[in-house]
Amino acid sequence: MRHRIHFPVIFAFFGLGCAAIAGFASEPLTVTSPDGNVAISFQLKSNPQPYLSGERAYYRVTYKGQQILADSPLGLDFKNAKALDKDFVVIGSDMQSQESTWENPLGAKRKVPDHYNQLTVSLRERTAPSRRLDLIFRAYNEGVAFRYFLPQQDSLNPFIISAENTGFYFNQDASAFALRLNSFVTPYEAHFDPIELEQIKPESIIGLPLLVNIPHGPWVALLEADLTDYAGMYVGGVAGAPNALMSKLAPVPSYDLFNIGPYVDMVRKENDLGITGRLAREKLLLSPPGKGEQLLPAPGTWALGPGSEDIVVGTTPKSTPWRVLLMSPQAGGLIENNYLILDLSRPSVLADTSWIEPGKAAWDWWSGRLAKNVDFKPGMNTATMIHYIDFAAEHHIEYMLIDGNWSPFNDITRTIPEIDMPAIMGHAKSKGVKILLWALWTAVREQVDVAFSLYEKWGVAGVKIDFMDRDDQEMVNWYEDILSKAAEHHLVVDYHGAFKPTGLRRTYPNLLNREGVFGLEQNKAGNGETPEHDVTLPFTRMLAGPLDFTPGSFHNATREQFKPRNIEPSSQGTRAHQLALYVIYEMPLAMLADYPEAYEGAPEFEFIDKVPTVWDDTKVLNGDPAKFVTIARQSGDKWYVGSITNWDARDIDLRLNFLGKGKYQIEIFADGPDADKVATQVSANKKMVTADSTLKLHLAPGGGWAAILAPAK
């Protein structure tokens, strides 16, 4: 059902037009959400701050009457032209309203509401060249969004944006969970650290999402949506303005990763000595090469400077991405409402999506390509890949991901001698298992047309593309180009070494998942991937969209027992914690991190065997960022529930009032009585419950709880 109401208003108030022309502050224009709780207002006004001289465009945001953002500036800087940020005339305004629903079969909520009121304000510079700018504001029940639109005009054809000066001036002191990064060249693999907003400095590079906790007010998450032909947004502080943030756009870096292949290859050869690919990348991207590293490329091919000043290059008409503020009284409400990022993104451009299938994947990389009690030497070879395929087939696992080293370093059209791809593909087809192949992004860049055509002939189902580590305009466009070409060959895509999601999966549903997260793989090299981090991610990174966290470790350790290791690694926290992650995290393509024998003889593996990866509905039952969370997700007539805690043991009363009428059989997989000492211990039981039931959950330190609820027959 879709309703659209259009109200054109030119100089809605005569006084508004005259005031703007005369040089005085205009009356505010406001658009309010359908439920009346959320409002975003626009106004032209002068500011006493000397660095904001002149009459400028500002917006502010309220939630249930409480001011969330105070007057926050808007503007664009252009190369070789004056900034478009002040001395405007309001030449028109327009109000629209929409109420619609669309279907998303590959997400956390199948029926997605899209209900908003929209205000468009049209501006023109008072003086030559009289450039024009539209500001589009939307108010949803779930939050607000706004974007810039540059109408067709000769004075901006072409244009080069050197900065976007969008402010987010919070009205009061507030705390946050911030992704603090060292560079715009980043895989987003860092922690969301608790911090006060006023501690964010102008030089800071804070990745999105940013989660903000306003005292006595709502939780607020800052994100972006519909990042198309533009540079990714970060934020930093504002000098002299506590609690104020200003946008920063990612520049194109001044080096090309493709030119440092010899160094990457050197590191890959050392992997057997315990150096992981992720550590290699950090060394590669965040540290200048040392004098003694002879395998590095010639001088001049490496420069880790600020990059080009040509941040966004384009022609008009042109829209920027949406700047989004999700808002909810409870932090869990943000998780339930993260579909807003999809609402703000372009609908699917693929006419046929019937070939796109979500599912789980067996995976050889995390464990070190282990196999035990077998009559072959495990490793990157045909026998090991067939062994993993057999495991996938036995346990209803849709995919097998063959990770790096199956091909020569920068040639993804050939296999190494140890890999017989026709034999692997033939065996996988006979078992009903689909194959995914890992590829370095630079190899994809150079060989995409030949490689993707070849993969289609082989029968490959998809690709995992890795190590992009950028979200400048050039890379953003590359992501979309690759998804389009992948779709032509019926290939699904999993982006690793990736920036955060911004809704592109709605436009290209063959984008099943992406990394952009400090995930389980980090336990191979350090101890930073903790239960506390696990409990923070649903309220931060996951608000942007699915995350390829790669759960499923069945080698589990308490905090005291844990030691990082590259081969046969373990996870921090209990096994039930790992089970629950398959419900907690949104993952249309979900990895099983461990090797086949790790799961043998474990009755609790039944939960992973049964759990879906896409959902009809999602309910957040309780939670507090970095402490604990419980999420229920519906698939058909069944509900799946996951609950996890940080290193604090926790007792939770879990009400089942989200269930329908009648009795349900619940199958529970919980921390065992000694899970605080033996992290692998799981207790399983079944019983009958109803929507009136309340369950008593006890979670061990780093613990978890997982359950399946099915209507009683």
Q: Compute how many other C-beta atoms are within 10 angstroms of the C-beta atom of residue 470.
A: 29
- DSSP 8-state class, residue 259: G
CA distance linking residue 329 with residue 86, whole number of Å: 35
- CA dihedral in degrees (264, 266, 269, 271; nearest 10)? -60
**Residue-level pLDDT at 403:** 97
- Block residue for tokens 């050889």: 364
Contact 640, 633 (CB under 8 A): yes
Half-sphere exposure for 573 (CA within 13 Å, toward CB):
33
**Residue among 577, 553, 563 at smallest CA distance from 650:** 577
Q: Compute how many other C-beta atoms are within 10 angstroms of the C-beta atom of residue 674.
A: 11
For the purposes of burial, counting CB atoms within 10 Å of the CB of 30, is it exposed (0-12), middle (13-18) or buried (19 or more)? middle
Domains of the chain: 3-251+310-343 (2.70.98.10), 255-304 (no CATH), 359-516 (3.20.20.70), 519-589+613-713 (3.20.20.70)
**Residue among 6, 162, 177 at smallest CA distance from 85:** 162
**Residue among 498, 472, 469 at smallest CA distance from 483:** 498
**Residue among 498, 470, 516, 445 at smallest CA distance from 252:** 470
Half-sphere exposure for 562 (CA within 13 Å, toward CB):
26
**Residue-level pLDDT at 304:** 39
Contact 107, 342 (CB under 8 A): yes
Contact 569, 524 (CB under 8 A): yes
Residue 484 has φ and ψ, to the nearest 5°, of -65, -45
CA distance linking residue 685 with residue 687, whole number of Å: 7
Contact 574, 702 (CB under 8 A): yes
**Residue-level pLDDT at 608:** 98
For the purposes of burial, counting CB atoms within 10 Å of the CB of 154, is it exposed (0-12), middle (13-18) or buried (19 or more)? exposed
CA distance linking residue 515 with residue 508, whole number of Å: 17
- The amino acid at 691: A
CB burial of 65-102 (b: ≥16 within 10 Å; e: otherwise) equals: eebbbbbbbbbbbbeeeeebbbbbbbbbbbbbbbeeeb
Half-sphere exposure for 483 (CA within 13 Å, toward CB):
25
- DSSP 8-state class, residue 170: B
Q: At what angle do helices 441-458 and 473-488 cross, to 10 degrees?
A: 10
Rounded to a whole number of angstroms, the CA Rg of the chain reads 26
The pTM is what?
0.92
Half-sphere exposure for 148 (CA within 13 Å, toward CB):
21
- Block residue for tokens 């019983």: 687
> Residues in the chain with pLDDT < 50?
1-24, 257-306
Element (H, E) at 342: helix 340-343
- DSSP 8-state class, residue 298: P
**Residue among 248, 241, 223 at smallest CA distance from 170:** 241
Element (H, E) at 442: helix 441-458
CA distance linking residue 55 with residue 44, whole number of Å: 6
CA distance linking residue 26 with residue 90, whole number of Å: 9
pLDDT in tens, 370-405: 999 999 999 999 999 999 999 999 999 999 999 999
**Residue among 181, 141, 157, 156 at smallest CA distance from 37:** 141
CB burial of 236-255 (b: ≥16 within 10 Å; e: otherwise) equals: bbbeebebbbbbbbbbbbeb
Cis status, amide bond into 209, omega within 30 of 0: yes
**Residue among 206, 178, 165, 201 at smallest CA distance from 74:** 165
Residue 676 has φ and ψ, to the nearest 5°, of -70, -20
- Block residue for tokens 């043991």: 649
**Residue among 413, 405, 398, 399 at smallest CA distance from 443:** 413
β-pairing verdict for 244-249 and 219-225: unpaired
**Residue-level pLDDT at 47:** 72
**Residue-level pLDDT at 6:** 40
